[in-house]
Amino acid sequence: MIIVMEAGAHKENVDRVIAEVESLGYRAHPLFGTDRTVIACLGDERGKERIQTLDSLPEVERVVPILRPFKLSSREVRPETTIVDVKGVKIGGKALVVMAGPCAVESREQILEVAHAVKEAGAHILRGGAFKPRTSPYSFQGLAEQGLKFLAEASQATGLPVVTELVDAHQLDMVQDYVDMIQIGARNSQNFFLLSSLGRAVKPVLLKRGMMSTIEEYLMAAEYVVTNGNGNVVLCERGIRTFETYTRNTLDLNAVAAMKKLSHLPVTVDPSHGTGRWDLVPPMCYASVAAGADGLLVEVHTHPDKAVSDGPQSLKPEKFQAMVKTLRAFAEAAGRTL
């Protein structure tokens, strides 16, 4: 931490800050500049936020943190990329992983039909929501446990592992009985109670970025899971909220390249939520892989105009298949296989 005093700060206030810093177990190192006195605090500042509160002391202008606050998810502590195994499908290695399926499980027929279609088109993991967090209480909220059963059946019929969203920590055991990976949605990305509970999950976690989470906050959310005991976390950029209205969100591919550098966790991209428009999904799939993504999460629906949610951003199976085909060339250019 660096503590910046106000211009013309009095000696007794500088001394008081130094005393407080040292009482917290740091070494204080004052630097007397032309315009300001600055106090450098030496010691591992992570997890010790008491120093931050010193900016309410008299004549302190601000406190500037120096270290990034995440530790276990950082590449500094683990240089090689973590490979997460989802029932045999490995995310984070040379092979790209494509996860696809409908936004919501709507019926047994629907999920079986889509599962077969995405498998044939080249997907490696099936996605589908049984518990749906919806902006409106009047919207379809998901089939709940019945949806999980349909997902499990679709998994068995196709051999594809399945990933589905968890919204309540108390349902973790029930959900992980049916599926192979637990998804945490963007709206729960700072639901720290839910994140902490995943430490005891036996299944890997697909953690979506919150639509208002900075990269640093997002990696801190991953840290909640890892530090509670589950290191099998897959990151997923899904677009952030900005002033732009033509697209549903702004897909932040800078973050993909940045997180590949900052963290050892595998990074995937969801261009369906990231754009909100099916016609922009294929180019953003290619761009994601070019930016360094380890995998994709794509919404596919056999009848998007009849979908109970997110139809406008779902690809039909034939367009999905064409996308995967074109994707191969980009995967190769990126030194990956598909």
Which range of residues in 53-61, 105-113, 147-155, 172-180 is near a second copy by CB under 8 A?
A: 53-61
Q: Is 31 a binder of a second copy (CB under 8 A)?
A: yes
203 or 301, CB closer to a second copy?
A: 301
Q: Is 12 a binder of a second copy (CB under 8 A)?
A: no
Q: Is 307 a binder of a second copy (CB under 8 A)?
A: yes
Q: Is 217 a binder of a second copy (CB under 8 A)?
A: yes
Q: Is 210 a binder of a second copy (CB under 8 A)?
A: yes
- Nearest-10 Cα torsion for 105, 109, 114, 115: 90
Q: Is 138 a binder of a second copy (CB under 8 A)?
A: yes
What's the closest the beta carbon of residue 268 comes to a second copy, in angstroms?
15
Contact with a second copy (CB under 8 A): which of 55, 59, 85, 113? 55
161 or 248, CB closer to a second copy?
A: 248
Which range of residues in 84-92, 104-112, 117-125, 186-194 is near a second copy by CB under 8 A?
A: 186-194
CA angle (293 as vertex; 287, 296 as ends), nearest 5: 80
β-partners of residue 22 are none
Instruction: Name the one residue in this structure whose structure tokens are 């920590």.
Output: 169
The token duo for 230 is 């589950």
Q: Is 79 a binder of a second copy (CB under 8 A)?
A: no
Q: Is 69 a binder of a second copy (CB under 8 A)?
A: yes
Which range of residues in 87-95, 147-155, 173-181, 220-228 is near a second copy by CB under 8 A?
A: 220-228
The Cα–Cα gap between 122 and 258 comes to 28
Q: Is 289 a binder of a second copy (CB under 8 A)?
A: yes
Pairing of strands 60-64, 37-42: unpaired
Instruction: Name the one residue in this structure whose structure tokens are 């190192």.
Output: 29
The Cα–Cα gap between 76 and 197 comes to 26
The 8-class DSSP code of residue 171 comes to G
The 8-class DSSP code of residue 6 comes to P
Q: Which of residues 255-274 bind a second copy (CB under 8 A)?
A: 255-258, 260-261, 274
Q: Is 7 a binder of a second copy (CB under 8 A)?
A: yes
Q: How far apart are the first and last CA of the chain?
A: 45
Among 296, 298, 297, 295, which residue's Cα sits nearest to residue 314? 298
The Cα–Cα gap between 82 and 8 comes to 50
Q: Which of residues 91-120 bind a second copy (CB under 8 A)?
A: none
Contact with a second copy (CB under 8 A): which of 126, 167, 179, 298? 167
Q: Is 59 a binder of a second copy (CB under 8 A)?
A: no
Task: Find out whether 154 and 148 touch, Cβ atoms under 8 Å.
Answer: no
What's the closest the beta carbon of residue 133 comes to a second copy, in angstroms?
5
Among 183, 232, 228, which residue's Cα sits nearest to residue 204? 232
What's the closest the beta carbon of residue 138 comes to a second copy, in angstroms?
3
